[in-house]
Copies of this chain bind each other. A is one copy, B any other.
Amino acid sequence: MTAPSPPSPEPSEPSLEAIVSQTVGAGFPQDLASYLPLLAEDLREIDGRLFDTLHSTYPLLTEAAVYACRFGGKRMRPLLMAVGARALGATSTRKIDSLAAAFQLIHTATLVHDDVIDHAELRRGRPSVARAFGLPQAIVAGDFLFVRAFELAAEYPRAIIRRCGDSCADLAEGEVLQENSRFDLTTGREHYFRVIERKTAAIVAAALASVAEIEGGSPALVDAFQEYGRSLGVAFQLRDDYLDVYGDPDLLGKPLYSDFREGNPTLLSLDAYAELSGSAKAEFERLFALHRKRPRELLRLRELTERTSAPTRAAQEANEWANRAIAAIRPVPEGPFRLLMVHLAHGAAARPY
């Protein structure tokens, strides 16, 4: 297997300022806007720490690893960590920079491996690492990103490292759980939530609980941050699954319908399947179970979904989890950064990409 050569000149990534205002979401009050440059600066620090650990004596790996990290996406996790630290009174992200970089690296590592597993060609508008550098390089680059993440995490007390490691294990367990339910619509809602709590929410919860701990928050605040992260993570994943059918592929940077295509049951398909009856239900089941689906079969699955209340319910469900996240941070001191945490929760459930 020879590696295809990496693609030539890349488009440039939006500025961190633009990313912050997009991730915080539209419609935030004007008086919060003045904090956004500060947060862009925080992200710059965290990105700096991240790339410092990649530029090393490993020229071949550095290329693929930097490629994977260069388009860092929405920066939801580091942004949540920065806002969380500031909500607890931190005047900089100095104490959490390495941990935020570690969580961002872990997130990127799992995306690199996910794209191997799902044969994904595109990620954030560019060829996936697997596509750009080859499958072996993608597997090894993902491992390298994990290793670097753990070296960064090693700066922190053992309890933080353990929480970070356990959330990675949760994530891995969630992926296997999901893998084992591929093409199976009988698994039900409960199983779906079990998957996404592990696959997505656990790591956001661990990141935020760690921030609270590092910033000297009380046990009640650590719990509040943990629950905020968990609920926001669920809302985020629900929105992700929704956007996979109803998003704008140009904004998403990848084609739609990957869950239909890969046979991953989501709330949309599970609820649609539960609600449909007769020949429509049978058709939905048959199409969903196909291991190779043609474009018109994907569109047909969407059409059948739209005959049900599943899309509305999925959007509602995401909002409910965002509200749970917001309720969890009542013990956090009032102020602009708590307000930003509220906006980030709404944003996770309602973002356009």
- A-to-B contact residues, CB < 8 Å: 1-3, 56, 58-61, 64, 109-110, 113, 116-117, 134-137, 139-144, 146-148, 150-151, 153-155, 158, 161-162, 165-166, 168-170, 172-173, 175-177, 179-180, 182-183, 291
Contact = CB atoms under 8 A, between A and B. Distances in A.
Contact of A150 (B56, B150, B170): B150
A277 B183 CA distance: 56
Contacts of A166: 151
A140 B165 CA distance: 14
Contacts of A59: 173
**What number of copies of this chain does the assembly contain?**
2
Contact of A60 (B1, B58, B180, B182): B180
11 contacts: A1-B291, A60-B177, A113-B140, A136-B179, A141-B172, A141-B176, A143-B168, A144-B168, A146-B150, A147-B169, A154-B161
A335 to B, nearest CB: 34
B154 A155 contact: no
Nearest to A135: B117
A137 B61 contact: no
A169 to B, nearest CB: 6
A64 B175 CA distance: 13
A135 B182 CA distance: 14
Contacts of A169: 56, 58, 61, 144, 147-148
A168 B58 CA distance: 11
A158 B154 contact: yes
A176 B137 contact: yes
A176 B60 contact: yes
A157 to B, nearest CB: 9
A155 to B, nearest CB: 7
A291 B2 CA distance: 10
A230 to B, nearest CB: 16
Nearest to A139: B113
Contacts of A136: 117, 175-176, 179
A268 B229 CA distance: 55
Contacts of A3: 179-180
B173 A147 contact: no
A154 B143 contact: no
A173 B143 contact: no
A-B pairs, 5 with minimum CB distance: A150-B150, A151-B165, A154-B161, A58-B173, A60-B176
